[in-house]
Structures are given as structure tokens and as C-alpha cells.
Amino acid sequence: MSDPTTTRVGFIGLGNIGKPMALRLASQASSRSLALSVYDVAAEPLAELAAAGAQVASSVAALAADVDVLCVMVRDDDQVRDVLGEVLGRSERDGDRLTVVVHSTVAPTTPGELATTAARHGVRLVDAPVSGGSMGASAGTLAIMVGGSDDAFATVRPVLDAMASLVVHAGPIGAGTTFKLARNLMHFVAFTAATEAQRLAEAAGLDLKVLGDVVRHTDAITGGPGAIMHRETAAPIAEGDFWHGVFTHVRALGEKDLGFATDLADQLGVEVPLARLALERLGPGLGLEEHDPPDTEESS
């Protein structure tokens, strides 16, 4: 008979991020009253988790039948659905309730569909995608964004706290996934902007690796794109609002530098469509009135 004070945790999907997440759980298990069991189709990560103190289950169904909270970190929507199908086909237990935590990043409608299906079998489900990559997973410094009921969130919170330094209850089912998609929209648009910057720098004969050093150094100081994300709304800003003055200054600097950069791109024959769009949309995006961007040739 299991200790009622111990939360039995299952983890399915021991890939690049799932494995360090599970290893983090294993390292925290005794201090947080957790008992960890794992399953994966690959033998090597299972052996590593077993060496770290986790129990290895024989199947998804066997794991689901013996845990309170089941974390799922597989590749895509189809694999999540396959896993959930096996989970819901498990043998029934004596009235205790399983909560499934979907860490995989899936389509926006998938968590709601899965939660509805799970509820018909007496199983709760939350979506809880992660941000921070394998490095954050290894260090236990992930951000985890959770969508689900208050009760379900309270149930899974102690497990998530063992793997993350920031756990956010984003809202109802699906809200965690929406948070992750919004965060990654910025992430990958920024990556694309970085490729424009690299092409511009390369055309100008600059060292791209040193440029990368400068970007990482200064983003660590200023906070990068997240530095502007302090308002509670994206609505237009009234002139008397504190942020109006702050963002007017941001806009002036941004439009000046973007103007210079796009002029340089024209001189060097480099395509920078994102920079041109940013020049057009920076002010309105910040919540300021639209106006014609400055003519950098005259202002220079």
C-alpha cells in the first residue's frame, strides 16, 4: 500500500526536454514527497532514469494505473492523443482520480478536446507547456504555463514546482497552450529578425559571431523584447498615462534606428522585410497613434 502523503508521479516521453525534466523530478522526489515512475519507447533514457531512482513501467497503461499525476512530454498532437488513448484504456482504480499534464506544445484546440474526452473517463487534464529548453529543464528553471481548473492546478502544482522556477496558472483549459504560442511567436519572429540583422552585418563586412556576443550580452542587461511587456492591456495609451511617455521615447529611438538600418540595407542591397514592417508597426503596436515615420535621410 502506497504512502498517502506521497504523490505518485508518472512521466512519459524522455526526449531532449522530457528526460531532463524527469531527471529533475527524480532528484527532487524524496525532498518533495514524490514517487516517480517513467515510460518511454527508448531503452537508454529509461536506464538513466532507473539509475536516478525512478521506477520503470512496462507500458503507458501500467504507468497510468499506478500514479496520481501523469506528465506527458511527447512530440506532437498525434502522439499526445495516442498516449491519452492508452491512458484512458487503463484498468479502473478504486475511486482515486488521475490528473494528466500535457507538456507538449499542441494546437490551440487540442487541450479542450482532450480534456472533454478525459472527463468522460473520470480523468482530469491540464495543458502545461514549458519554456526554457533543455538547459532550463536540467537546472529546474523552466517556466510552465498551465491551463485548467483551480482544483486541477492545485493538484499538479507541487509536481511542477519540482521542475520549474516559474509556474503560472494561465487560466482555463487551453490557456497554457495559448501562453506558449504567444511566447513562441515572439521567440521565432525575433529569430527571423536576427537572420535579417546577420545578413545586414555580413554585407557590411562585420563579424557575425561578435555581433551574437553583443546581442546576448545586452539582452541579458535590458531584458530583450520582454522589456516592453509591463502593461495589462494592448489598447491605445492615453497621453496622460505613465507608459505614454516611456513608449514615446522607445518609439523615437526605434524608428530612428530602424530607419537608419533600412537605409543601410538599401545601400548594401540586403532584403530586410521584417525591419520595414517593424518601422511601420512599432508605434501602433506600443499603443501610440500612427504617424509617418521619420525621414532618416533628412534627419541624418
Q: Which are the catalytic amino acids?
A: 180
The vertex-174 CA angle with 167 and 179, nearest 5°, equals 50
Q: What does the buried/exposed string (b/e) look like for 45-82 if buried means 16 or more CB atoms within 10 Å of the residue's CB?
A: bbebbeebebbebeebbbbbbbbbbbbbbbeebebbbe
Q: Give the C-alpha distances (Å, rounded to integers) separating 197 from 134, 145, 200, 218, 278.
A: 26, 31, 5, 15, 13
- Give Cα 142 to chain centroid, integer Å: 8
**3-class DSSP state of 159:** helix
What is the phi/psi pair of residue 91, to 5°?
-65, 145
Q: What contacts 24+ positions apart, CB below 8 Å, involve 201-209? A: 203/268, 203/269, 203/270, 204/264, 204/268
DSSP one-letter code for 68: S
Give which of 11, 151, 5 is closest to 67, Cα–Cα: 11
The vertex-136 CA angle with 155 and 195, nearest 5°, equals 130
Q: Which residues are within 8 A (CB) of 126 and not within 5 positions of it... i.e. 6 or more apart?
A: 99, 100, 101, 102, 111, 115, 146, 147, 148, 149, 152, 153, 156, 173, 176
Cα torsion for 227, 231, 236, 238, to the nearest 10°? -110
The set of cell numbers assigned to 38 is: 517513467
